[in-house]
């Protein structure tokens, strides 16, 4: 998505003024600033650029229920980050840790306006469409603007030699077609990570005819019970990120530095077994983290780092019916490269990943007579 020219980012369209009910409110009501001057600097004095950052005072004046729920939702509070860091021993009441977290982790949060009226900072910011409000977030500019290399690129086939997700290529499905009622947008009732959201979509909601005896050989009881759908239906590798060091440089500028990403495809044991995710075998992706994430700020700020695997449960968005690993039994059985083994994990992360690493003897044996 090319960045906009700076003037385009703040250009208001006639269509907004004529047709969007939000135009009736006037600029000052939400953005503040000084109405009685046409001097740029004077007019912008006291202006609030990002209005949605405080939903109760702006959007919430009309959209009471949405704004109230949005105060605590996962996009806004990043409860996913907080949950994982807490499991790793982070103490959010410790001023040192809180400073580190606020300096480096909160920039990715999204509020009302980030989805409905503007483009994310990762795409250079600016208005989505001349200040017109979009009821449904734009798949590539807003959802994909943040969830880019690990979702959007998979979904549209942006990685070399790996096809796009069939839901996009064949059906043109938008994010909201599956993630329609996610609590993660407007509801803050569930805590934890996105995988703990009871309203998150599942494949079976649409593909309810997938069951033993449906005519697909591998759809037997054992495979369906023990394997997440993506294990067989992810079309290929997806992006894993590694390392992340945070700090403040000698000019006082906050920064993070991560190691080069890699395209990986790894099957492992399920680290988040639950009623919603009951399978033994799932796909894993390396998260951009390490023990020294906040070492700049102090020692041992994540004392229980090994409590959570760095190879995390994942659901790549590059789904196809036919994939290299499901073309025959032995395209998967006996293919040790497809499985996360000890040699794939750096020594300092082996303890954290012990629950997901596949022992050589656990790799399914080749099927005799299997093609």
Q: Which residues contact 274 (CB under 8 A, 6 or more apart)?
A: none
Query: What per-residue string of b and e applies to 299-332 under the rule 16 or more CB within 10 Å gives b?
Result: eebbeebbebbbbbbbbbbbbbeebbbbeebbbb
In the complex, the smallest distance separating the C-beta of residue 29 from another protein, rounded to whole angstroms, is 5
Which C-beta is closer to another protein: that of 5 or that of 342?
Answer: 5
The answer to whether the CB of 149 falls within 8 A of the CB of 188 is: no
In the complex, the smallest distance separating the C-beta of residue 122 from another protein, rounded to whole angstroms, is 7
Give residues 269-288 in contact with another protein (rule: CB under 8 A): 288
8, two tokens: 């385009």
Lay out the site mask for another protein across 48-87 (x = CB under 8 A, - = otherwise).
Answer: --------------x-------------------------
Stretch in the footprint of another protein (CB under 8 A) among 87-95, 110-118, 242-250, 325-333: 242-250
In the complex, the smallest distance separating the C-beta of residue 115 from another protein, rounded to whole angstroms, is 19
Q: Does 241 bind another protein (CB under 8 A)?
A: yes
> From the list 1, 9, 163, 333, which residue makes contact with another protein (rule: CB under 8 A)?
9
Give residues 286-345 in contact with another protein (rule: CB under 8 A): 288
In the complex, the smallest distance separating the C-beta of residue 123 from another protein, rounded to whole angstroms, is 12
Give residues 155-214 in contact with another protein (rule: CB under 8 A): none
Which C-beta is closer to another protein: that of 16 or that of 279?
Answer: 16
> Sheet holding 311-314: strands in order across?
266-269, 281-286, 311-314
Q: Does 256 bind another protein (CB under 8 A)?
A: yes
Q: Does 249 bind another protein (CB under 8 A)?
A: yes
In the complex, the smallest distance separating the C-beta of residue 36 from another protein, rounded to whole angstroms, is 7
Query: Is 250 exposed, middle or buried (CB count within 10 Å of its CB: 0-12, 13-18, 19+)?
Result: exposed
Q: Does 263 bind another protein (CB under 8 A)?
A: no
Q: Give the pairing type, strands 254-264 and 266-269.
A: unpaired
In the complex, the smallest distance separating the C-beta of residue 251 from another protein, rounded to whole angstroms, is 7
In the complex, the smallest distance separating the C-beta of residue 109 from another protein, rounded to whole angstroms, is 14
Which C-beta is closer to another protein: that of 215 or that of 260?
Answer: 260
Which C-beta is closer to another protein: that of 125 or that of 309?
Answer: 125
Which C-beta is closer to another protein: that of 120 or that of 236?
Answer: 120
> Site residues (CB under 8 A) for another protein?
5-7, 9-14, 17, 24-29, 31, 33, 35-38, 40, 43, 62, 108, 122, 149, 241, 243-244, 247, 249, 251, 253-261, 288
């Amino acid at each position: 998505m090319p960045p906009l020219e700076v003037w385009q980012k703040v250009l208001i369209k006639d269509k907004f003024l004529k047709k969007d009910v939000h135009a009736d409110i006037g600029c000052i009501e939400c953005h503040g600033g000084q109405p009685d001057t046409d001097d740029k600097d004077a007019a912008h004095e006291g202006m609030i650029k990002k209005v949605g950052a405080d939903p109760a005072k702006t959007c919430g004046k009309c959209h009471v229920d949405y704004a109230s729920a949005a105060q605590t939702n996962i996009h806004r509070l990043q409860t996913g980050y907080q949950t994982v860091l807490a499991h790793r021993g982070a103490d959010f009441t410790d001023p040192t840790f809180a400073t580190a977290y606020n300096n480096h982790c909160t920039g990715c949060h999204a509020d009302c306006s980030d989805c409905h009226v503007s483009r994310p900072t990762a795409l250079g910011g600016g208005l989505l469409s001349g200040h017109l409000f979009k009821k449904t977030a734009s798949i590539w500019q807003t959802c994909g603007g943040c969830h880019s290399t690990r979702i959007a690129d998979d979904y549209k086939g942006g990685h070399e030699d790996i096809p796009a997700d069939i839901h996009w290529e064949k059906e043109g499905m938008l994010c909201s077609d599956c993630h329609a009622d996610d609590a993660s947008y407007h509801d803050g009732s569930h805590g934890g990570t996105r995988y703990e959201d009871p309203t998150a979509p599942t494949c079976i909601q649409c593909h309810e005819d997938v069951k033993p005896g449906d005519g697909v050989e591998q759809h037997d009881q054992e495979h369906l019970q023990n394997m997440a759908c993506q294990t067989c239906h992810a079309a290929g590798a997806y992006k894993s990120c590694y390392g992340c060091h945070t700090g403040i440089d000698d000019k006082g500028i906050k920064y993070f530095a991560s190691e080069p990403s890699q395209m990986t495809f790894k099957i492992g044991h399920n680290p988040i077994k639950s009623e919603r995710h009951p399978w033994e075998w799932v796909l894993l992706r390396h998260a951009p983290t390490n023990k020294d994430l906040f070492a700049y700020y102090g020692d041992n700020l994540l004392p229980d780092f090994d409590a959570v695997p760095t190879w995390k449960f994942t659901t790549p968005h590059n789904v196809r019916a036919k994939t290299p690993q499901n073309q025959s039994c032995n395209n998967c059985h006996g293919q040790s490269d497809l499985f996360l083994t000890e040699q794939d994990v750096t020594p300092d992360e082996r303890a954290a990943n012990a629950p997901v690493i596949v022992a050589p003897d656990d790799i399914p044996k080749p099927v005799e007579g299997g093609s």
